[in-house]
Structure 1
């Protein structure tokens, strides 16, 4: 699949799931202001992804016009457990680059599963995306947004309640509707 199709599907997911369901109350403003970078990589190995991750981290640090980056990587870490293990490597890269406390990496995957949940539990859809991706966030911006938003501690539970009310079948169909050809 070409990079533009990957980016378009991911953008639709952000619009239809993240923004329309208000899973992240901070996303709409950045999307409307065109400050979300959608980057797709053709990496086929974890090492290749790590190289691309480093480039995207440095781009985010160096370019103030970008608020957040979604690094889409469909060719590597399709298995959720492998992906989950890679997150420690990604955090290690933050440490090596001395970006710990500057950039935070959030995780989204088509098979995302919170510990202690069934694979088909609706709540997993709060972190399910069309493709595996790493979400790079500026910590200072995140802190400002949290300080300005009332009761951010309630967001995760509210999101779980929202997707549970819709149910796993609706969430699965909504996620699928973002994919090309749907």
Structure 2
């Protein structure tokens, strides 16, 4: 598995699900302006991956948003099990504050087997947070604030997304052709 394949799969997911289904109404503008940095990590263990996360957070904090507005940090092999990834998120989500970036950058997460609490693994709503590989999305809070200010009801996005994937169903999602290499 090479970086080009991983990035290509991630782009298919971005274009067909995140943007194509409008799961994130703010994604298209930064994607078409090539302001999304996609980084593939090959860190051999969690500590090294956290160091890479720190480096990407620092990079994003000093980079002009017109160049890079958001970053996707992908690790294709370190977290095959969602529960391990979910346990790791407490450290990832604390990283911005640890670096003095609280209020500047947030961390969101995606995983091929993402599962919301109190849902079954095959609940279609889980699809809203399923990416081809375990992915950390580093988001500038200033960008979120700008996007939210321009959206009539940002609180409704989550509910609308659940309705969208429920209507689509597993067959419709599969028809999008998003490659999930870990699923065979």
Fold conserved between structures, TM > 0.5: yes
Kindly indicate whether residue 25 of structure 2 is the aligned counterpart of residue 19 of structure 1: no
| Count of residues paired in the alignment | 180
Measured in 2, the distance between the counterparts of 1:40 and 1:105 equals 16
Is the CA contact 1:44–1:75 (under 8 Å) kept in the aligned structure 2? Answer: no
Q: Which structure 2 segments of 5+ residues have no match?
A: none
Residue-by-residue CA offset, 1:143-176 (whole Å, 9 max, x unaligned) = 11101111011100000000000102322443x5
Question: What does residue 66 of structure 1 align with?
Answer: 68
Measured in 2, the distance between the counterparts of 1:40 and 1:162 equals 29
Is the CA contact 1:43–1:75 (under 8 Å) kept in the aligned structure 2? Answer: no
TM-score normalised by L of structure 1: 0.94
Is the CA contact 1:73–1:133 (under 8 Å) kept in the aligned structure 2? Answer: yes
Q: Which structure 1 segments of 5+ residues have no match?
A: none
Q: Kindly report which structure 2 residues correspond to 1:129-140, keeping only aligned pairs within 5 A, or say none.
A: 129-140=131-142
The alpha-carbon deviation at position 32 of structure 1 amounts to 0.4
Measured in 2, the distance between the counterparts of 1:179 and 1:2 equals 14
Is the CA contact 1:38–1:70 (under 8 Å) kept in the aligned structure 2? Answer: yes
Is the CA contact 2:75–2:134 (under 8 Å) kept in the aligned structure 1? Answer: yes
Q: Kindly report which structure 2 residues correspond to 1:95-114, keeping only aligned pairs within 5 A, or say none.
A: 95-114=97-116
SS at match of 1:89: helix
Where do 4+ consecutive residues of structure 1 move more than 6 Å? Answer: none
SS at match of 1:137: strand
The alpha-carbon deviation at position 90 of structure 1 amounts to 1.1
Question: What does residue 78 of structure 1 align with?
Answer: 80
Is the CA contact 1:72–1:133 (under 8 Å) kept in the aligned structure 2? Answer: yes
Measured in 2, the distance between the counterparts of 1:20 and 1:127 equals 14
Measured in 1, the distance between the counterparts of 2:15 and 2:161 equals 16
TM-score normalised by L of structure 2: 0.93
Residue-by-residue CA offset, 1:26-70 (whole Å, 9 max, x unaligned) = 001100000000110112311121011111111111111100000
